[in-house]
Amino acid sequence: MAAEPPVLLESTGRVAWLVLNRPESRNALNRGTIHALRETLARLREDGEIWAVAVTGAGERAFCAGADLKERRTMNEEQVQDFVASIRGLMDDLASLPQPTVAVMNGAAYGGGLEMALACDLRILDESASVGLTETSLAILPGAGGCARLPRLIGLARAKELILLARRVPAREALEMGLIHRLAPAGGARAAGQALLEELLRNGPLALRAAKRALEAAVDLPLAEALQFEQVCYRSIIPTEDRLEALRAFAEKRPPRFQGR
């Protein structure tokens, strides 16, 4: 009997769902999972029919428990360095997708699991779950973007508290500190994620991509340069059919029918 693939790709309309499919290991990230994710993300990057990407976990125990420590114990120092580089590359691949991305955390997310969620644009968390960058308790540090992305999201002081104390944060507190955007009822993360995606896709898909580029640039550029880049992104949308369709729909008092053109 063939083994289950470590990652499932499920397409629902204009949305691609990436499902981490190792529930027996709390969807931990091993070499095979990372390779499969990176290959899938490379295909999605070029797929104009996909307007948004969601990432979730199989089963009910966890979204992703981070790196597979059982596999890690078999690695020498050089292999560990290569593994960390590959998992960091995965997070960068996810963060740089042109489509909006949503982490639908159906359970706990620790270490690399939370780093994966931080690489997404929006985050939903099951209200019964907790999250944390707990690597310092294992005598390492978040090495796949956690130390860089978390303080940009919740501020340096809170990020130091979470990482240096290896804190596991319950869902309600994660919402209050801005680590996640929405809570889902216990067991209802997938449905809540689908609702958020439907809300997202009421908007023009090309505009969403352009806005994402402008927002990402604004974090790192001086204000004057960020404003100039925003203009570049805006100009890219002016010739699109979707922009004209939105104007027609407004005049005719109906929902727009976007085509991604």
Indicate which residues carry an active-site annotation: 67, 112, 115, 135
Handedness of CA 171, 175, 179, 180 (dihedral sign): positive
Treating both helix axes as pointing N-terminal to C-terminal, what angle do 223-237 and 205-220 enclose, rounded to 10 degrees?
A: 170
